[in-house]
Copies of this chain bind each other. A is one copy, B any other.
Amino acid sequence: MRGLMQDRPLTLPHVFHRAEQLFGHKTLVTATANGRTRTTIADWAGRVRRLATALDELGLTADGRVGTFCWNTDRHLELYMAAPCTGRVLHTLNIRLFPEQLVYIVEHAEDEIVFVDRSLLPLLVPLIDKMPTVRRYIVIDDGADVPVPDDDRFGDYEELLAASEPFSGRFRVDDENSAAAMCYTSGTTGNPKGVVYSHRSSVLHSYFTMAADGPALSERDTILPVVPMFHANAWGLPYGALMAGSNLVFPGPNMTPDAILDLLSSEKVTVTGGVPTIWMGALPKLAEHDLSSLRTILCGGSAVPRSLSEAYRKAIGVPMLQAWGMTETSPIATMGVLHSEHDALDDDAKADIRARQGVPVPLVELRIVDPESGEEQPWDDRATGEVQAAGPWIASEYYRGEGGGAQFTEDGWLRTGDVATVDPSGYVRLVDRTKDLVKSGGEWISSVELENEIMAHPAVAEAAVIGIPHEKWVERPLACVVVKPGESVTQEELLEFLTPRVAKWWLPDAVEFIDEVPKTSVGKFSKKTLRDKFSGYRIDAPDVTGG
């Protein structure tokens, strides 16, 4: 027996028309090189309607990929809507990718057009002859003093809009499962892989951003997404804000702590979100700004240090609200909101909970699975396993089958590659990446936990632990350590320091001192580079280990 409810697809046109109809008076602020621009949702919506017509007149195919190479701005938000509302697919390009990665993903996605902020032309222009699918580049003038190539392929965004009549009537996308947007993951191995969001997944994820036990976006909020709009929908904040009717503030190109803090303060921002690095940089300057309007700082992208969250709580009364996810999960899969059962805890114990990644959000299901046996592990906060995720905004495959399905289970769950424990209340605690676990004598050593212990040594600036193949124990840990300038420490001193802190069989078999830990294009430790560097490395101390 079927339900007798209207067959109304969950599509982004609903979000657009809702914002236009109910929230036309709400504001969009964008920081530019020359100050701040202010507009209203009503004016923005009119521009979206012009842009929609322009996309048609440019001759894009019905579901053509629309690349954006842009900072967080109100104009980027125009593209966020006009592309999917006309049936095209928004493809946000990560401006921090290596040139060869950028060329690869533009070609792989077959982008037909790229909208680019003028200040970013120097990164893009040298590559355009390697991007044959792109027929047009539309330059969004952000005031940067950068020349625009004298090339027929280049056009001006404002001229384009001025020359286009606004689309009238309602946008219509009939199939909620059609593609709305795509974003490539910058994996550390293999080629970047494309994640393709549907209208359905985008609308459902946006709905979540309004949930009381989530970001709780409301008409009363003013939201500043520090997280780039080329990262997984900026965590859903732009679409969520439009659905909720919030004001939005965009930081534009200036992502310095001073600029961000100044915006947060002067625009009375209530909700913001960004990676830990941003908030670490802003920490020393908090006292110089009035952040009394701020109620929520979303933080994710990598594990949020407990100390960072506590520093914010003590300084401004707002700890980090940790979220966990990835491009493949739209991205929010867990949210570290405290539950009523934690009310009786003291501040320290609450900080421990906040340092976890949180509980699965509604419509997302998680399980942890032993990476070797494939067996599901209990939620006892001791057993570890790879986190696998299912839900309507979790990827089912990569664009064009990239990766051959290896990252998806037979029953259709995403293998996230993150290793975690889960406590009986469902709070996830990440301990490692699957590929970074060190397998020693049938047991797993968490490279991340070992690194944290090594980095607790006062002379250590950075440490990365990798597994080295070993005849008897399969793998044994090698610690790659960067010493702080002006400090010194020996292998023996480090091992002595670690001895009371970790199990005996976790002790690294060797320590190599290096100048710096190699990083990926998005700033994460590149253990692949380290493993390449130390391939063939030989460890000769089998007898110190033991299960």
Interface residues of A (CB under 8 A from B): 1-8, 10, 14, 17-18, 21-22, 25, 63, 89, 175, 177-180, 195-201, 203-204, 207-208, 210-214, 216-220, 243-245, 330, 337, 339-341, 359-360, 362-363, 365, 390-399, 412-414, 425-426
Using A210-B211, A216-B216 as known contacts, say yes or no to A6 and B395 having CB atoms under 8 A apart.
Answer: yes
Q: Are B179 and A397 in contact (CB under 8 A)?
A: no
Specify the chain B residue showing the minimal Cβ separation from A391. B8
Which of A5, A22, A175, A179 has the most chain B CB within a 10 Å cutoff?
A5
Copy number in the complex reads 2
Contact of A3 among B1, B3, B196 (CB under 8 A): B196
CB A402 to nearest CB in B, in angstroms, measures: 10
CB A206 to nearest CB in B, in angstroms, measures: 8
Q: Are B359 and A5 in contact (CB under 8 A)?
A: no
Q: Are A365 and B2 in contact (CB under 8 A)?
A: no
Specify the chain B residue showing the minimal Cβ separation from A220. B340
Kindly list chain B residues whose C-beta atoms are within 8 Å of the C-beta of A330.
5
Using A21-B426, A218-B213, A426-B21 as known contacts, say yes or no to A89 and B1 having CB atoms under 8 A apart.
Answer: yes
CB A7 to nearest CB in B, in angstroms, measures: 7
Q: Are B219 and A5 in contact (CB under 8 A)?
A: no
CB A109 to nearest CB in B, in angstroms, measures: 10
List 26 interface pairs A-B (beta carbons < 8 Å), by A numbering.
A1-B89, A1-B178, A2-B179, A3-B178, A3-B180, A3-B196, A3-B199, A5-B177, A5-B393, A6-B391, A6-B394, A7-B412, A14-B363, A18-B360, A207-B207, A210-B210, A210-B211, A210-B362, A211-B211, A211-B212, A212-B212, A213-B244, A213-B245, A219-B339, A220-B339, A245-B339
Kindly list chain B residues whose C-beta atoms are within 8 Å of the C-beta of A220.
339-340
Q: Are A63 and B217 in contact (CB under 8 A)?
A: no
Specify the chain B residue showing the minimal Cβ separation from A201. B5
Could you list 9 further interchain pairs (A-B, Cβ under 8 angstroms) beyond the known A5-B196, A6-B392, A6-B395?
Answer: A2-B198, A3-B180, A4-B196, A4-B399, A6-B396, A10-B363, A207-B362, A211-B211, A213-B218
Contact of A211 among B6, B207, B395, B398 (CB under 8 A): B207
Using A210-B362, A244-B213, A362-B207 as known contacts, say yes or no to A398 and B4 having CB atoms under 8 A apart.
Answer: yes
Kindly list chain B residues whose C-beta atoms are within 8 Å of the C-beta of A4.
179, 195-196, 198, 395-399
